[in-house]
Amino acid sequence: MNLRLGKQETLATLCRENHVLRLDVPESDPKGAAEQWVFVVEFEDLVPPAFARAYFALSHALEALLDRPVYLLTEAAVRNPYLRAQVEKQRRRLS
């Protein structure tokens, strides 16, 4: 994923505002040519209503910033051990 400096700064701000501890992107599409972007996100420990607000606020903000659909995977959502291994192998930290 290639982000211009202005988008990188905006991304860092979005992460702070939405209680994100870590945001990664799999390297399966390093040029960003895919129709949607997939992110692996780790949030601070939030109560369920706050988690939902942060999740959807981040999702909508990323879609607006990147001008394409965004799919957020949380660490807890990746339960399949084969998928988890693939994600771990390919991910690159953004924030």
What's residue 90's pLDDT? 73
What's residue 53's pLDDT? 98
**Rounded to whole angstroms, how far apart are CA atoms 68 and 46?**
27
Enumerate the domain spans of the chain.
5-93
What's residue 6's pLDDT? 67
Q: Which CATH class is domain 5-93?
A: alpha beta
Tokens of residue 28, six digits: 């399966």
**Rounded to whole angstroms, how far apart are CA atoms 48 and 20?**
15
**Rounded to whole angstroms, how far apart are CA atoms 27 and 17?**
25
Categorize the per-residue pLDDT at 2 as very low, low, confident or very high, splitting at 50, 70 and 90: low
List of residues 6+ apart from 52 with CB closer than 8 A: none
What's residue 33's pLDDT? 57
What's residue 20's pLDDT? 96
What's residue 4's pLDDT? 59
Q: Which residue has the higher pLDDT, 57 or 91?
A: 57
pLDDT digits (tens, 9 = 90+) for 16-74: 999 999 998 876 554 555 678 888 899 999 999 999 999 999 999 999 998 999 999 99
